[in-house]
């Protein structure tokens, strides 16, 4: 049985880092870790800063999976999250079935509209994803896959310093 909650959000990218998510959506409350089977994590979404951002790509291979976290949130804050994710420009919102230890949950997430496989994430962006995965105790092999993704320095020193400060 799939439990559906319109206020459940599946985070898989930089929003895994809960401090970042709570800055955007203060009501976000962790419900469960979860995974999407038949998907791969990619960093090919065209970011507004022209770097690669996280995206999930369905490939139908049952052994491939994307780990993440299901959060419940106050839907009055959804416009803030939509704005942070550049809804309609960067990402589209879609409901997917997330496998959790408690069973399957329906949650919305964001899928990239524009993709470019030549892009790389900035070091600080990848650090959000890695730090969030570590804090949530996602499987070590999955965290290692993220750590192995090539990343590049952000040429904007002010933006780089801002994000590195948020990471602590």
Confidence grade of residue 4 (pLDDT, cut at 50, 70, 90): low
**8 A C-beta contact, residue 26 and residue 77:** yes
Instruction: Report the pLDDT averaged over residues 35-40.
Output: 95
Question: How much is the pLDDT for 168?
Answer: 79
Q: Which tokens is 114 given?
A: 């524009």
Measured CA to CA, the distance from residue 148 to residue 27 in angstroms comes to 32
CA dihedral sign, ordered 116, 99, 1, 21: negative
How many domains, in total, are found in the chain? Answer: 1
Cα angle 165, 131, 115; round to 5: 95
Residue 103, domain extent = 2-167
* pTM score of the predicted model: 0.94
Q: What is the CATH number of the domain that holds 117?
A: 3.10.490.10
Question: How much is the pLDDT for 3?
Answer: 55
């Amino acid at each position: 049985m799939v439990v559906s909650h319109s206020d459940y959000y599946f985070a898989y990218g930089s929003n895994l880092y809960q401090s970042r998510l709570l800055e955007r959506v203060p009501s976000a409350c962790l419900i469960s870790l979860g995974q999407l089977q038949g998907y791969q994590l990619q960093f090919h979404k065209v970011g507004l800063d022209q770097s690669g951002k996280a995206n999930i790509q369905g490939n139908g291979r049952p052994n491939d999976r994307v780990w993440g976290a299901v959060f419940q949130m106050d839907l009055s804050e959804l416009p803030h999250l939509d704005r942070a994710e550049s809804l309609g420009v960067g990402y589209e919102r879609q409901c997917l079935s997330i496998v959790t230890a408690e069973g399957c949950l329906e949650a919305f997430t964001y899928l990239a509209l524009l993709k470019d496989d030549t892009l790389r994430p900035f070091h600080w962006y990848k650090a959000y994803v890695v730090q969030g995965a570590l804090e949530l105790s996602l499987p070590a092999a999955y965290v290692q896959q993220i750590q192995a993704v090539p990343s590049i320095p952000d040429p904007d020193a002010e933006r780089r310093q801002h994000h590195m400060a948020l990471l602590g």
